[in-house]
Homo-oligomer: A and B are copies of this chain.
Amino acid sequence: MSGPWTWHGGGLEAAKREFGTGDWIDLSTGISPHPWPGPATIAFDWQRLPDPDALARLEAVAAVCFGVDARHVCAVPGSEIGLRLTGTLVGGPARHIAPSYRTHGEMVAGSAPLATEAAPGYDGTLILANPNNPDGRVTSAATMQALLDRRGLGGWLLVDEAFADTDPATSIAALVDDGRRLIVFRSFGKFFGLAGVRLGFVLAPQAIVAALRERLGAWPLSAAAIAIGTAAYADREWIAAARRRLADEAAALDTLLTRQGHRPTGDCPLFRLIEVDDAQALFERLARRAILTRPFAEQPHWLRIGLPADAGARTRLEVALADG
């Protein structure tokens, strides 16, 4: 019974119904367990329509963080809707690298999956993630540049950088320009550990940004998303410390998994992938110990494990893995 959990991560309520309530550890997503602490200290103006100036300030602050000019930045209420709206704007034909994030296959009608190795041979619209999800594989800057150079006259390179914040060197956001057929997607909730805010960004040529704004209308973001995002992207000290901490904790997770006989893969510190004979059985075994992980319907050997929040959670994970 891993059905409801092979679609997307999350779904803790469904897990509680199936496996019992208790002190659950949710490792089913790639969301940082260490949220940016600011929301508790911000008073939100829920009454008024968010001011266009405030939205522009958020986009300007985020643009600095991404290393791109603000005129190429369009804030969206979650990168999920950003991916989907952009997909309908760009249109087909398209190919999406698979396995990857499920939504990539739903962005453009008729998009067909493509293996990573086949990507250099295709010059049409190509959708991929960097780092990739769920395997955490990082594609080098040189390869990304080559993929971009390869786009034909009708092809776009659509890069989902939802997990790129942990290492800015991964990003090609700086290459977004009016003269390039490149669109980059960023997510606020994962690195900042605040997925409930629903905030993402589409970085694109100005014509695409304008078309997206027309689809979204005048007030795409909540007052909270604007206030939280503006303050968080400006908090360079917290961002730097979070990058160091996540790297340290990913190393501790690797040690734990290796000790339990697994070979964790992935270059993004927010999650690791392991291969086992029967991932569904392991998923259920962990779930009965109130640990939610992420199985994949089409990859019965894969289990993705998010970063535990602390030593206590790591210990519970290790005990559950050992208790086979």
Show the binding face of A for B, using Cβ within 8 Å: 7-14, 26, 29, 31, 35, 39, 44-54, 77-78, 80-81, 83-85, 88, 103, 106, 189, 193-198, 214-225, 228
**In whole Å, how far is A297's beta carbon from the nearest beta carbon of chain B?**
16
- Give bound CA distance, A53 to B50, whole Å: 28
Q: How far is the CB of A252 from chain B (nearest CB, A)?
A: 21
Which of B29, B49, B83, B214 meets A31, CB within 8 Å? Answer: B49
Q: What are the residues of chain B within 8 A of A48 when measuring CB–CB? A: 10, 12, 26, 29, 31, 195-196
| 16 pairs from A and B in contact (CB 8 Å cutoff) | A13-B51, A14-B52, A44-B224, A46-B196, A49-B189, A49-B196, A50-B196, A77-B81, A77-B198, A78-B217, A78-B219, A80-B219, A83-B217, A197-B222, A198-B222, A224-B224
Q: List the B side residues contacting A83 at CB < 8 Å.
A: 217
**Contacts of A224 on B, CB cut-off 8 Å?**
44, 196, 222, 224
Chain B residues in 8 Å Cβ range of A46: 35, 39, 194-197, 228
Does A35 contact B47, Cβ atoms closer than 8 Å? Answer: yes
- CB of A29 within 8 A of CB of B13, answer no
Question: Which listed residue (B45, B194, B198) contacts A196, Cβ 8 A?
Answer: B45
Q: Which residue of B lies closest to A102 (CB)?
A: B218
Q: Shortest Cβ distance from A19 into chain B, in angstroms?
A: 15
User: Contact at A216–B81, with CB atoms within 8 Å?
Assistant: yes
CA distance A45 to B53 in the complex (A): 27
Closest to A26 in B: B48
Q: Give the residues in chain B near A50, CB-CB below 8 Å.
A: 196, 198
